[in-house]
Structure 1
Amino acid sequence: MADQSTDRHPLFIPLVLLGGLIFGFGLAYSHMARPEVVLNFLQFEDFGLLFVMFGGAAVTGVSFLLAPRVLDRAPLTGDRFERRLKSFDRNVLVGGGIFGVGWGLSGICPGAAYASLGIGNVAILWALGGMFLGAYLQGWWRSQTSRADPAPAGAD
């Protein structure tokens, strides 16, 4: 398999950075980078997050619907457009539940955590550190269990 970094369009990284800047600005502008706003949503007191998520899902949905019909390949990577179906299994259910507990306890999810850091919420570094540590521990745990169980793992 070829190194993907050499196959990418030269504008790939700058456009990913631009997309991240737009994403972070949108989260901060809509106040979703503030944990108290997210916690108010989770307590059914403020439904603004629902509209922000719907806006993002609508733009993404239209893009995923139209891009394969208009373009033969992805403009920056040259990859063919194809659907990647993830089966709904026990790992998705348990992982989603664990994510939800973490989201409820911290009041922040990963994208909003970075945006929150950008608006000066330095205390969010604890949540970011916890996310990295949790992801690392899950990867370590998965590597340990895959060595003990020679059966093939499910699709990731």
Structure 2
Amino acid sequence: MGFALGLTGHDRQWAEDVVQETLIKAWRNADKLDRRPAMLRAWLFTVARRTVIDGWRSRSARPQELAEIESDAIVLPDESDKTVAAMIIYAALQGLSPEQREAVQRTYLEDRTVNEVAATLGVPPGTVKSRIHHAVRALRKALR
């Protein structure tokens, strides 16, 4: 088995097949084999090596077979949950006042600071914080 593993690049399944094929050939030719241990060992190693060579040749001569995939086994990512979540969030955002929606959009979606949003809108930072606070409370309530 160790010899076959070395020949097959440590492919255990293929090595087991090689050993099995070698032993079957030894069984079929038992009456013709030289029973001296050194000769029997050399014969077994030769048969194993030739079996691996035949395997390499047959693999390179024809393309690798692929298992047929059942159509039920094919799984496509389902984006419907994301779509539904986006629709729910969009509807919840529509329930906010325009000022609250704009404050949430600029701070959370555009990743701006409260001071940047306040300067853009021309209102004090406290007003932006208040709009965001009330908007988050309204969104939590709407999303329950």
Report TM bin, short chain.
under 0.3
Larger relative contact order (CA 8 Å, sep ≥ 6): 1
Larger Rg: 2
Q: What is the TM-score of this pair, normalised by structure 1?
A: 0.22
